[in-house]
A and B are shown apart, each in its own frame.
Chain A
């Protein structure tokens, strides 16, 4: 789960990670009120969406008067912001963050992520602040300093020194930086974050450090023990169909093709998409019905797949381990009663109780349901059906 910049900064403040003062606004009037509350003569108006690259996309602007705050908030609220992370469709901006201007001497980068290969959190720092970090990593990896922290010992002063000297900071900046990095590591660990990114991390003219931006993502599996984080969920940032699916225990991702897929297991679901592609078709979605699939969830699966008007056929590919095939077969029958399945459904059931499942489908004798003998056969039939053959 991801949160907005203003929410990440709320968490930062609790851990004494310095950030500029600011308030979120949902309307132009509120934006102006916030600027008045902050005082001063320079404000930054920042679009709040779950994607990076907002500045380059025109979603972050500097205002030098309250009038300008009003103009800019009016411009940014309601705009569809397109960045390298939003995809070509962009994202609707529904809130802006009004922040006080900062005294910027230098822009750096600081992030914490899980290093899957080393199996521990790694802190990444770079002097190339404000740049797209993936680009820096690809073009000049030597400009990124990485320090892995073994959670058994936690963040130590030496980790901080490795980062600070690696960045080539001045002597009088080092202790400030180490304090900042230590606090950020604490934010990461105590909130079960998956990643934190501060880009840019600003060094002020007085040699202190401020998080000018803040991006946080969390381990979904840990949200049960962080109700405060869970409360920050912004459902308007999530795909409505994906959200509805997850409410039923289904994992769904929409794609651009026309062959709908309903599969048990994430790996086989991806493998099914790949097979459809391999035999010349295009998958319309990823859908994992999971280990607890029953008639209701399968019926829901059909409903969700059919919300996509591009779907011309549906390939149900189930290899029964935990999910027994007879249950899936009953689910398919049930679904055809609950949902108007107006496209051909190609069914391949294998594994536990596959024979019973085949009997159930055969006896039901429903038109529109085509059985397949194996994965390849099913993919070929589903692609042919989508092409109208």
Chain B
């Protein structure tokens, strides 16, 4: 079992024939992901990586039955791409592109919600169900199949966390990189209940960072609704206030959004909070061996 995607999920790539889109689509195909086509306006009717290319998402959905899109278009076109996917009936859009305007994402996400389309990202590594389906840019080889669900705002901390979990002899059901932008798609609040309901997931790793209050909302939710053990790390304990730390959303404004505040809320909700990302694997081992 897994959440959101599995070996049968049919995926199209928006921005299929571009440099990044091509490189990562090829990696996903090699991993076993059912990439059934792609969209590049103007290149409809051609074939790329052995798969058909379409001019519009609607054509691609009609011809292939794809339910998920992976978005690699340049930042200025992300808003339009997500709106198009939502309008064409895509069920889940995974947005990898970094640097799209906040306003565009805000509008695109609001429309996606209205259309019933889930989104992941933008500015994220994507989602992977170990040894079944990879929709994103993560190095697939480190995600061994297992019993841990992982949710992370950071791409490389997703890899770090998964790698440690696997090195401790456990594995991953599904790992979701939710992205570090101010406006993101699926977040802790939507993903935690999916992992709670997934019979194969026995524990959850959640990796957050400074900025915003999603982790605080998650803490309240965990206290009331999540029975499975949760191990959490919040990046940016040593980050100065008022400075943007790489991710557009990673900024402590005034005294709100600090790592300390988030770690405290999570601890009080019964979450196993670690102070260093190097402790994630060990903490999972400790929690599951009890």
Within the complex, the shortest CB–CB distance from A355 to chain B, in Å, comes to 11
**CB within 8 Å: A-B pair count:** 175
The stretch among B45-53, B221-229, B235-243 that forms the contact with chain A is B235-243
Residues of chain A within 8 A of B156, CB atoms compared: 263-265, 267-268, 319, 321
Residues of chain B within 8 A of A234, CB atoms compared: none
Residue in chain B with minimal CB distance to A269: B246
Residues of chain B within 8 A of A244, CB atoms compared: none
Q: Does A271 contact B (CB under 8 A)?
A: yes
The answer to whether residues A291 and B125 also contact, given A251-B246, A274-B237 and a CB cut-off of 8 A, is no
Task: Report how far A76 CA is from B258 CA in the complex, Å.
Answer: 35
The stretch among B10-18, B61-69, B247-255, B265-273 that forms the contact with chain A is B247-255
The answer to whether residues A116 and B249 also contact, given A222-B103, A267-B154 and a CB cut-off of 8 A, is yes
Summarize B's interface: helix, strand, loop or mixed: loop
Q: Does A326 contact B (CB under 8 A)?
A: no
For residues 232 through 276 of chain A, which have their beta carbon under 8 Å from a beta carbon of chain B? 251, 253, 255, 263-271, 273-276
Whether A114 and B182, one on each chain, are in contact in the complex, defined by CB atoms closer than 8 angstroms, is yes
Whether B217 and A270, one on each chain, are in contact in the complex, defined by CB atoms closer than 8 angstroms, is no
Other-chain contact of B240, A117, A192, A255, A274 (Cβ < 8 Å)? A255
Residues of chain B within 8 A of A111, CB atoms compared: none
Whether A268 and B154, one on each chain, are in contact in the complex, defined by CB atoms closer than 8 angstroms, is yes
Q: Does B127 contact A (CB under 8 A)?
A: no
Other-chain contact of A319, B76, B99, B159, B213 (Cβ < 8 Å)? B159
Whether B239 and A286, one on each chain, are in contact in the complex, defined by CB atoms closer than 8 angstroms, is yes
Other-chain contact of B277, A274, A320, A322, A351 (Cβ < 8 Å)? A274
The stretch among B31-39, B82-90, B106-114 that forms the contact with chain A is B106-114
Residues of chain B within 8 A of A270, CB atoms compared: 154, 209-210, 235-236, 238-239, 245-246, 250
Residues of chain A within 8 A of B99, CB atoms compared: 221
The stretch among A88-96, A162-170, A374-382 that forms the contact with chain B is A374-382
Task: Report how far A189 CA is from B103 CA in the complex, Å.
Answer: 8
Q: Does B207 contact A (CB under 8 A)?
A: yes
Within the complex, the shortest CB–CB distance from A278 to chain B, in Å, comes to 4
Q: How large is the interface on B (under 10, 10 to 19, 20 to 34, 35 or more residues)?
A: 35 or more
Q: Does B212 contact A (CB under 8 A)?
A: yes
Residues of chain B within 8 A of A120, CB atoms compared: 106, 110
The answer to whether residues A117 and B138 also contact, given A219-B101, A270-B235, A286-B246 and a CB cut-off of 8 A, is no
Whether B106 and A219, one on each chain, are in contact in the complex, defined by CB atoms closer than 8 angstroms, is no
Whether B276 and A352, one on each chain, are in contact in the complex, defined by CB atoms closer than 8 angstroms, is no
Q: Does B146 contact A (CB under 8 A)?
A: no
Q: Does A220 contact B (CB under 8 A)?
A: yes
Other-chain contact of A274, B76, B100, B155, B276 (Cβ < 8 Å)? B276
For residues 50 through 82 of chain A, which have their beta carbon under 8 Å from a beta carbon of chain B? none
Whether B212 and A375, one on each chain, are in contact in the complex, defined by CB atoms closer than 8 angstroms, is no
Residue in chain B with minimal CB distance to A324: B139
Q: Does B192 contact A (CB under 8 A)?
A: no
Whether A274 and B238, one on each chain, are in contact in the complex, defined by CB atoms closer than 8 angstroms, is yes
Contact with B along A169-213 (1 / 0, CB 8 A): 000000000000000000001001010000000000000000000
Q: Does B70 contact A (CB under 8 A)?
A: no
Residues of chain B within 8 A of A192, CB atoms compared: 101-103
Task: Report how far A271 CA is from B237 CA in the complex, Å.
Answer: 8
Whether B242 and A85, one on each chain, are in contact in the complex, defined by CB atoms closer than 8 angstroms, is yes
Other-chain contact of B245, A117, A219, A222, A286 (Cβ < 8 Å)? A286
Q: Does B137 contact A (CB under 8 A)?
A: yes
The answer to whether residues A151 and B153 also contact, given A270-B238, A270-B239, A271-B233 and a CB cut-off of 8 A, is no
Other-chain contact of B163, A220, A264, A319, A379 (Cβ < 8 Å)? A319
Task: Report how far A31 CA is from B245 CA in the complex, Å.
Answer: 38
Q: Can you list 10 A-B contacts (CB < 8 A)?
A: A114-B106, A116-B249, A151-B106, A152-B110, A192-B103, A267-B152, A269-B246, A270-B238, A271-B157, A271-B233
Binding site for B on A (CB under 8 A): 85, 114, 116-117, 119-120, 134, 137-138, 150-152, 189, 192, 194, 219-222, 224-225, 251, 253, 255, 263-271, 273-279, 283, 286, 288, 291, 319-322, 350-352, 374-376, 379
14 more A-B contacts (CB under 8 A) besides A138-B255, A274-B237, A278-B276? A114-B102, A137-B254, A192-B103, A224-B76, A253-B245, A266-B246, A267-B207, A268-B154, A274-B277, A277-B238, A283-B238, A319-B160, A376-B276, A376-B278
Q: What are the 9 closest A-B residue pairs judged by CB atoms, nearest first?
A: A267-B154, A266-B246, A265-B156, A268-B156, A376-B278, A270-B235, A271-B277, A134-B254, A222-B101
Binding site for A on B (CB under 8 A): 75-76, 98-103, 106-107, 109-110, 125, 137-139, 141-142, 152-157, 159-160, 163, 180, 182-183, 207, 209-210, 212-214, 217, 233, 235-240, 242-243, 245-250, 254-255, 259, 275-278
